Amino acid sequence: MPQVTVLFGSKSDLKYWEESKKYLEYFDISSELKVLSAHRTPDEVATFAREARKNGTRVIIAGAGMAAHLAGAVAAHTDLPVLGVPLPGGIMDGTDALLSTVQMPAGVPVATFAVGTAGLRNACVFAAQILSLNDPELTKKLEEFKEQGSRI
C-alpha cells in the first residue's frame, strides 16, 4: 500500500516527477503515481479521494498547471493532508496555477508549494515530515537529510 499518492492532472506533467521521486525513495516512502484530471475525469478524482485512506494512502501530492484545480478537488473529498504543487504552463507560466492552488476556502486546506520541480521536491520532503510524526526511523532519516544540507 502506498503511503503517498502522487497525482498529476495530465501525462504531460510527468516530466516533473523523474527528478523528484528520488526524494520519496531516499526516505523509503512507498508511493504510487496516478494521472487524474479535475476537469476531464472529475468522478474518478472524487472516488480516488474518498477511498484514499482505506487504500493505505496517508498523504496526497497533487500537481497541476493552468487552472490547477486538482489539489482542491481532492481536498474537497478527503480528510487526508493534500499537498498542492502548481506546475508551469499556461498564459502566466505557473503563476496562474499557484494562485488557483493557494486560493482555497476556509476549512478545505491545501498546503501549497513553489511552482515546478522545486515545489514537487519540497512536497516530497514535507510528506516525509508528516509521516515521521509516527515513525522514529523516518525521523532519523530526516535528521540525516538536514545534516547533509537538505540534499540527497
Q: Is the pLDDT of residue 131 over 90?
A: yes
**Whole-number Å distance between alpha carbons of 100 and 96:** 6
Domain borders along the chain are 4-147
pTM to 2 decimals? 0.96
Assign 3-state DSSP to the chain and report helix, strand, coil percentages, each to 5.
45, 15, 40
Arithmetic mean of pLDDT, 99-127 = 97
Q: How confident is the model at residue 18 (pLDDT cuts 50, 70, 90)?
A: confident
**Is CATH 3.30.70.2610 the right assignment for the domain spanning 4-147?**
no
**Which pLDDT tens digit goes with each residue over 54-77?**
999 999 999 999 988 999 999 999
Grid cell locating 13: 506533467
